[in-house]
């Protein structure tokens, strides 16, 4: 029990550090992408945290197995490199007992990934799709980012505001340009702009003050300039209609009632993730066996090659199911069996002496 606590303590610490690094890389990259989308007016700035909160479960269900796999490689590699594994094996710690020692954290990990894959992530994906749809259907006034040219309506409308009030109700130094094929370009500039909502119809209007409206094509003689003190313009919201939830946003129980290829591919993928955790641990323990002079990091690169091959094989299997080119009855089990057999082959070597 002392040896088990010793190994598990180091394993958990390395796992937490590895998971933190992977999260920073994955979430940071995705957050930068969302910032760019917010700068172009695709999303409101205040919705970025909501987007990341709904995406985090999807990141975790993929990163948890990889983080634990790397932590097993590093922890057991150090035990071999520092001759501690030799002492444990000489003292009667069989390879099977090593797996039993780390069984508790492995079970917690696999259960967590199963819960995320089967329950949390589909629910969050459904909320995410609804949130993105709501963001796309928001009036352009609400998505304006100050100091940035906001491209709307598929490039037919450009809106710019130098400043925007904290309550997002007043714009300063407003520029609007509208273009339609075969029609003259309409450009509007105003010192201020306010949003007005008609209580009876619910229509939104942009009320511009102290500005000018330019209509015509640059370089042509037919060019009109209209100065105004107050100009009202209706904000037209381009309704984006939902086409139905994607398979990754459908509840697991609902997927089980469907018999199409998309549902089969998704349900097998969700089941595959916790199994991937269990099989990858067996792989990691077998691969982590290093010679004392090699160091604890000697098997990280070849170990990652093995687990990535396993992961990409699962993705290829999912695509085959999605394209109805693979029997749903087999699912992804052949991939699991092949890599489990490879892991068992490598695992048997754990109890054998390591030559320097």
- Mean per-residue pLDDT pooled into runs of 10, the chain (356 residues): 82 93 88 74 72 90 94 86 73 74 91 94 90 66 67 72 77 84 83 77 77 80 83 62 71 88 91 94 86 73 92 93 85 93 83 54
Residue 133's pLDDT is 75
How many Cα atoms sit within 13 Å of 17 on the Cβ side? 11
Residues 286 and 350: beta-carbon distance below 8 Å: yes
Q: Tokens at residue 309, please?
A: 């091959």
Q: Tokens at residue 146, please?
A: 């100050």
Q: Could you give the CA distance from residue 125 to residue 117 in angstroms, rounded to a whole number?
A: 11
Residues 310 and 342: beta-carbon distance below 8 Å: no
Q: Tokens at residue 145, please?
A: 């980012």
> Helix, strand, coil % (nearest 5) of the chain?
60, 15, 25
For 257, the 3-state DSSP assignment is coil
Report the DSSP beta bridge partners of residue 158: 151, 177
Phi then psi dihedrals of residue 196, to 5 deg: -130, 135
Residue 155's pLDDT is 64
The residues spanned by each domain of the chain are 2-136+245-351, 140-235
Q: Could you give the CA distance from residue 86 to residue 104 in angstroms, rounded to a whole number?
A: 23
* Entry pTM: 0.73
CA–CA distances in Å: residue 198 to residues 192, 202, 203, 234, 237: 19, 5, 5, 10, 15
Residue 41: CB partners within 8 Å, gap ≥ 6?
140, 143, 144, 145, 148, 150, 151, 152, 159
């Amino acid at each position: 029990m002392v040896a088990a606590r010793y190994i598990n303590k180091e394993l958990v610490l390395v796992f937490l550090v590895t998971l933190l690094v992977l999260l920073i890389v994955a979430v940071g990259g995705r957050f930068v992408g969302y910032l760019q989308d917010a700068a172009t007016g695709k999303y409101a700035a205040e919705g970025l945290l909501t987007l990341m909160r709904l995406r985090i479960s999807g990141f975790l269900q993929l990163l948890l197995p990889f983080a634990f796999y790397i932590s097993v490689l590093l922890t057991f590699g150090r035990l071999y490199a520092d001759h501690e594994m030799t002492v444990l094996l000489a003292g009667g710690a069989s390879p099977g007992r090593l797996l039993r020692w780390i069984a508790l954290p492995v079970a917690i990990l696999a259960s967590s990934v199963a819960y995320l894959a089967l329950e949390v992530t589909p629910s969050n994906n459904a909320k995410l799709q609804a949130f993105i749809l709501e963001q796309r259907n928001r009036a352009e006034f609400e998505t304006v980012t100050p100091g940035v040219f906001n491209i709307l309506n598929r490039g037919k409308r450009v809106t710019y505001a130098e400043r925007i009030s904290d309550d997002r109700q007043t714009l300063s130094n407003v520029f609007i340009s509208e273009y339609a094929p075969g029609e003259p370009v309409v450009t509007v500039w105003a010192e201020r702009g306010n949003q007005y909502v008609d209580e009876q119809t619910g229509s939104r209007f942009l009320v511009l003050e102290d500005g000018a409206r330019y209509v015509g094509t640059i370089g042509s003689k037919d060019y009109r300039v209209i100065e105004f003190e107050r100009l009202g313009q209706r904000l037209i919201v381009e309704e984006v209609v939902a086409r139905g939830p994607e398979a990754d946003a459908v509840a697991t129980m609902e997927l089980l009632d469907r018999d199409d290829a998309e549902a089969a591919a998704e349900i097998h993928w969700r089941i595959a993730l916790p199994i991937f955790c269990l099989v990858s641990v067996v792989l990691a323990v077998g691969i982590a066996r290093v010679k004392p002079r090699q160091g604890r990091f000697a098997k990280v690169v070849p170990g990652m090659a093995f687990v990535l091959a396993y992961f990409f094989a699962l993705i290829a299997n999912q695509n085959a199911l999605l394209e109805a080119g693979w029997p749903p009855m087999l699912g992804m089990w052949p991939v699991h069996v092949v890599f489990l057999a490879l892991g068992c082959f490598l695992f048997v070597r754990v109890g054998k002496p390591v030559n320097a």
